[in-house]
Amino acid sequence: MKRFIAIAGCMILLAGCSKTPANRSAQEAAFSHHPPAATATAETPQVSSEAAAPQPTAVRELSREEAVEWIKSKLSDASLKESSVRYQDTDPDGNYIIAQSSSATTEIMEWYHVNPKTQEVTCEISPDECLAGSAVSEDTPALLNPEQQEAQDLARAFAEKNLGPRYVDGVTAVELDHEDNGNPVFHVYNPGSGHTETLDWLTVNLADGTVEAMFTKSARYSEKDFSISAKNATIPLKGWDNELNLAELLGKPLSQVTETLQNADTLTGSFVRTVEYPGLTLQLFSPKQDGKAFWIMNMKLTDSSYATAKGLHAGMPLAELIKVYPELAAEGADPSADPDNRAYELSDQETYTYARYDVKSGVIREIYIYHLIP
C-alpha cells in the first residue's frame, strides 16, 4: 500500500512539473504581446506636457456650394419660398458672392458676401438689415368689409391676368392701402429681403367693376430692345443660330455645353445649349427630336464687351438707362425702394420677352435678356 501511494504521489508530482513550463510559456507569450510599461529612471527621457499638447487644427474653408447652403440656413422658410439662392462670383477679397433673387421677377433681392474662412456674411443692398429677411405678406380679408373684399378680389384677378410672370400666386400681396374718392386702392407687391418690390397700385371702382392701374404693365417695345450688337450686326432674342452665323459674329466660345431636358413636363426631351464668351453667356433652345437648329432663349451681359442694340452695357451709370427708357423711372416707384440698387425691367408680355437691368450703386451690373416659354 505504501508503495502504491508513493508511486501515485510521484505521478502527481510529475503532473505538477509538467504544468509549470506550460503556464510559464503562456505568460511569456502574453508578455511578448503586452510588455509592461517602462519605469522612468534617470536614463529614460520623459516627454514634457508642453510637447504632448495638441497642435491647432487649420479651419476648413467653405466651398461655393456650402456657402450657398450657409445663406439658405439663415433665411426664413417664407423668404426661401419667394426666392432662389445661387453662387454668383468671387469678390477681390476672396469672398463668395451669393445672389438671392425673386422667384416672381428674378430681380436681385440681395448680394451676400460670404467669407469662406470665418463664415462672416455682409450684405450689399441692405447692410443694416443683413439677413433680417421678411415673411410673405398675406392679404387680411377678415379685416375688410364685404365691399372691400369684393374690390380686393377684383384687384387680385386683374393683377394675376395682367402682371404676367411677375405675379406669383401665394407670394404676391394685394393689400388695401387707402381710398381715393371712395374707391379702394390696393398695393400690389412682392416681398423682398429688407424691402418690397412694388408691381402696381390698383384703384377699383365698384360701381362699374373696373380696375385702373397706375403703371404701364405692357409697354410696346420692338425687337431692337431685346437684341445685342456684335460686329455692327444685331443678334436678336429668339434668333436662330444657323441664320445668324454666331461663330462669325462672336468668335470661338470659351465653352459650349448641350444638355437634354429631363422631367421638364412638355419640354422633356428638348435641348438647351449654353455658350460662354468673355462677358457674355447665351442659352439656346432646340425642340425635342431636333437638336441641330437652336434659337436664342436668353442672353446675359456682364461687362462692357457687349452692348444691347440700344447701346447699353454693364458698367454704365443708371442715368444712361433712364435716358434710353425714361418710363422705367416711374415703374414700381415705391418711396422706400432705393433707385440705385434695384432691377429695372422691360417687358412685352404678349410675346413673353423681357430685358432686366440689375443696378448696384447706381451702375448697371448685369443685363439679362430672356424669353419665357409659355
User: What's residue 61's pLDDT?
Assistant: 86
21-30 pLDDT, tens digit per residue, is 444 343 333 3
List the one residue out of 197, 195, 154 whose CA is nearest residue 172. Answer: 197
Q: How far apart are CA 89 and CA 111, in angstroms?
A: 10
Query: Do 65 and 129 touch, CB atoms closer than 8 A?
Result: no
Residue 176 CB neighbours (<10 A) = 20
User: What's residue 353's pLDDT?
Assistant: 92
Q: Does residue 364 register a pLDDT over 60? A: yes
Of all residues in the chain, the percent with pLDDT exceeding 70 is: 74
Average pLDDT value over all residues in the chain: 78
Residue 274, all three cell numbers: 449654353
Q: How far apart are CA 145 and CA 166, in angstroms?
A: 28
Which residue reads 516627454 in cell numbers? 47
103-112 pLDDT, tens digit per residue, is 655 677 889 9
CA 69, distance to chain mean position in Å, is: 10
Query: Do 369 and 237 touch, CB atoms closer than 8 A?
Result: yes
pTM over 0.75: no
**Across residues 233-249, what is the average pLDDT?**
91
